[in-house]
Structure 1
């Protein structure tokens, strides 16, 4: 699908079909192949901006403030533990250079709000104390993760770890998000007035996407990632009175463009480097296993940092933070575009994202069901004692 992956026009089934059903010459087929690859890449970039904008809209800051310090502590440990473990482990055990190791460690920090919330909702645990802490921590994880991503991506561009540059990036990324949230309080009424004045078809969605792309450009202009600007735009508009309507209108656009982004990530990832038959691929498999282990342990440890809450299921909270989902693939895409990731490391991160996404829901169900069964047994014991006495 993409020339940069070593694929040629003759290898594409789509191009073969086009040649068979039209008068396209081999030379024109090659030109068309390159052109359509660029178009798909552009659509993928738009898709990831829409994705981060949608994630920002889902990050309800008011609910986040209500969850309190417990969720904040879980989120911080859930970011620091896998990031430090992944980065240091890759550098010391696998001799991975600093920049790729930092990027891979950054990919371990995120938590998918969408996957976690859906599983909790299906289990009826969304409004439980554990569920609220998981969701609150996941939101904070996304905010911290996007900051880490912005820093890692900028380091990838410079190619070296400059302490002053790192400090600047952290401060600028944090300031950008905080400033955006503060802007939201002022911008709310103005945005609604703009929507009412324009009276365009689709209403709120046109000015919303205009604002999202403007914020993406602004972030890029100050040497941060464009997706940070899109995420910030979502946080800003999350505070408006039109949030629910905007979320409803964004969904079909997201459903159309975001899958293109996911497909391009998969198409550009060379999973053949994980083929166990080839001896030279064994290191990639070991790296993938290591990343999965760190990804799981780092988040589970975060759940056990909760204090003064003996009734809470700390294991369930940790397990609920495991899935990386769509957010993890954003890290892969940015790392792939920057060229900082090797084929084996990139494939290892993709496998980690897939594994945690599929493992977490199953583990979460097991943990909650196990606790429910124990609670039922404890309730039956007093009744049996009373009957026998």
Structure 2
């Protein structure tokens, strides 16, 4: 079945009739979070729909039915199932009004038609087929049938040709043709063919003078409605070549983001865009020089701290030291290389943050004491680590270090009391 949204992608409002309405739930993923929010509502099937069900690489439309929010639309056979978040169901036969979220629809049309155009140009210019594509919330990409990373020169060629065709205003038309008619399919790009369960006419999206492509998605009617195409970059991921792009309003948003970021960089670096690279390189060199100086100071400090222990008489049974100069295990290594061997050590270097932060812990000394406290300290400090014999180390959260120090004090004071009593 061809839905109303596929007949007229610019239709924003549509009156139809409810065929069925069944209670349902929807797990809605939360943005930037692995968790989901469970919504209560109804699965609604109408005689027809202007709300596109997910398919062909294009996400579903959002909108409303009689003012109630539609959170998801999926195709099941010849039906579009709308998940409507509402408390009370629609009665079968109820006349309803569907309204599409137009900003989302226009964005999806621009990205999808832009993808068709970019795909056609990569095929005609370089014989690269598009094996899949992804329409994201910010940018999109196509996957190309090549193992060679696409050069910037090639990206520039495709981008320039795409924008020339947009300026020409080539028409984009949707045709319904009989898949058994080979004449109508002579110039059609259909690498995956029709779905196995397809019945009836096939839907072709044709860009005038460029290509015809089988597709179920919503599209513009003229390339000028794309406004413009920007190929952002190409990358290789696990042997696959992706070309990332933005079309239409997304290009304008991306430009706005770049300008805002550029102005922030101007203030932070105290220089204009032409100087940014030189200023950043200078800043990196300064950081490297400062880091080397800090490491030298920390090394001298570690030796000094260790030598102090040599002069103590009597020597302590245990020694605790927590430095918040950054996670620098070399400080601990240098300290232990110069410290007396007959003391039990609990040493930590960590980030200098108000609420504890991450750190690196080392225990060195009597294996029996390490066996007693190693795993215990990891549990208290919510860390991971390992050790053997007289050495134990781990990555920890340092917010509860005083608890560990108190346990060591209790342990060694107990030993001291027993020794004095005997």
| Same-fold call, TM cutoff 0.5 | no
Query: Could you state the TM-score of these two structures normalised by the residue count of structure 1?
Result: 0.20
Q: Which structure exhibits the higher relative contact order, with contacts defined as CA atoms closer than 8 Å and separated by 6 or more residues?
A: 1
> Which structure has greater helix proportion?
1
> Which structure has greater strand proportion?
2
Query: Could you state the TM-score of these two structures normalised by the residue count of structure 2?
Result: 0.19
